[in-house]
Amino acid sequence: MSEKLQKVLARAGHGSRREMEAWIAAGRISIDGEIASLGDRVEDDVKIRIDGRAITVKSEDDLICRVIAYHKPEGEICSRKDPEGRPTVFDRLPKTRDSRWVAVGRLDINTSGLLLFTSDGELANRLMHPSNEVEREYAVRTFGEVSEACIQRLRTGVTLEDGPANFDKIKAAGGEGMNKWWHVSLAEGRNREVRRLWESQEVQVSRLIRIRYGMVELPKSLPRGGWVELELEQVNYLRKTAGLDNENRTMLGTDKHSVARAKVKSAKIKRAVSKHKTNVGKNTRQRT
């Protein structure tokens, strides 16, 4: 059964449908050696290339929607490759067959915490669309005087360079003196929005950790640099949020071998964390 080319490319994680339409219009996509056109539909057995590079695509029925939660450390960038050789969030993710991990949004290099990845590019693109307004919660450590009037302004709204913004929720979470912790939430994903909101009040953010995305929380036992695959119930919560049908399959085992797989996964997490510490140490020595 044929599907629109841009839908197939989006599902494979190469970009949104709109971006794929632009690539097709620019002549960057070929089907069986012929330059593709807008409106083309494809079958499962065609050979698709992007800028001359062959890509692997799967039909909607063959793709199992998987989602993993990754505990991003500070110092990693949200790109697949970095010309400067800095570590990326993709370095320690588990290998996939005939698919690739797509990040659901981004965290800047100095922000740590929960970052979701999925094998379904369509799910990622829909979750990132502003119309979904998925609530994100952050733990923030600030340095500076924070008055009640400042908190009220952050709740009701301030004007940033790209328009008005505010926290949907903000509550104190401890700390002493000029260093205080807060939990804040908002449903937008504008670049550095949390930091810029505090900076608008002349308050410095010294630590920023994303602890929740929608109803998916950062597991307390998950170390920095580690990942865990989400249960089917959480995957379908995200799919429902994005307006997609439920997934009825999972790569998580429920048979007698699941314990062994859990041990393997635990070992992978430990190796990932160890590799992260090694990379950080190398980068530190190179800078000094």
Query: Is residue 107, in this structure, part of any structural domain at all?
Result: yes
Query: Is residue 60, in this structure, part of any structural domain at all?
Result: no
Domain total of the chain? 3
Specify whether 86 is located in the same domain as 221: yes
Specify whether 139 is located in the same domain as 259: no
Specify whether 109 is located in the same domain as 227: yes
Specify whether 146 is located in the same domain as 181: yes
Domain end among 196, 213, 230: 213
Judged by phi (left if over 0) then psi (alpha if -120 to 50, else beta), residue 90 lies in alpha
Which of 26, 216, 253, 24 has the alpha carbon at shortest distance from 123? 216
As a dihedral over the C-alpha atoms of residue 199, residue 204, residue 206, residue 208, rounded to 10 degrees, the angle is -20
Specify whether 9 is located in the same domain as 45: yes
Specify whether 139 is located in the same domain as 125: no
Query: Is residue 31, in this structure, part of any structural domain at all?
Result: yes
Residue 265 pLDDT class (50, 70, 90 cuts) = low
- Please state the rounded mean pLDDT for residues 254-259: 39
pTM: 0.78
Which of 58, 50, 210 has the alpha carbon at shortest distance from 119? 58
Phi, psi of 70 (to 5 degrees): -115, 135
Query: Is residue 62, in this structure, part of any structural domain at all?
Result: no
pLDDT at 143: 92
Helix ranges, 147-192 (H): 148-156
Question: At CA 226, angle to CA 224 and CA 229, rounded to 5?
Answer: 140
What are the tens digits of pLDDT across the range 213-222? 999 999 999 9
pLDDT at 262: 46
| CATH at residue 175 | 3.30.2350.10
Query: Is residue 61, in this structure, part of any structural domain at all?
Result: no
Query: Is residue 233, in this structure, part of any structural domain at all?
Result: yes
Query: Is residue 83, in this structure, part of any structural domain at all?
Result: yes
Residue 260 pLDDT class (50, 70, 90 cuts) = very low
Specify whether 197 is located in the same domain as 231: no
Specify whether 274 is located in the same domain as 157: no
Supply the mean pLDDT for the chain: 86
- Least confident residue range of 36-40, 182-186, 268-272: 268-272
Unique residue bearing structure tokens 């698919």: 99
pLDDT at 281: 57
- The H helix count followed by the E strand count for the chain is 7, 17
Specify whether 120 is located in the same domain as 233: yes
The separation between the first and the last C-alpha atoms of the chain, rounded to the nearest angstrom, is 58
Cβ atoms within 10 Å, residue 142 = 21
Q: Domain of residue 42: give its range.
A: 3-54
Specify whether 222 is located in the same domain as 207: no
Residue 282 pLDDT class (50, 70, 90 cuts) = low
Q: At residue 77, what is the residue type? A: I
Domain end among 213, 232, 255: 213
Query: Is residue 59, in this structure, part of any structural domain at all?
Result: no
pLDDT at 258: 38
- Least confident residue range of 75-89, 153-167, 227-241, 267-281: 267-281
What are the tens digits of pLDDT across the range 94-131? 987 767 899 999 999 999 999 999 988 889 989 988 88
What are the tens digits of pLDDT across the range 157-172? 999 998 999 999 999 9
The answer to whether residue 108 is catalytic is: yes
Specify whether 200 is located in the same domain as 235: no
Specify whether 229 is located in the same domain as 107: yes
Tally of residues, the chain: 288
- Least confident residue range of 48-62, 69-83, 115-129, 141-155: 48-62
Domain end among 188, 213, 238: 213
Q: Which of 32, 82, 108, 245 is catalytic?
A: 108
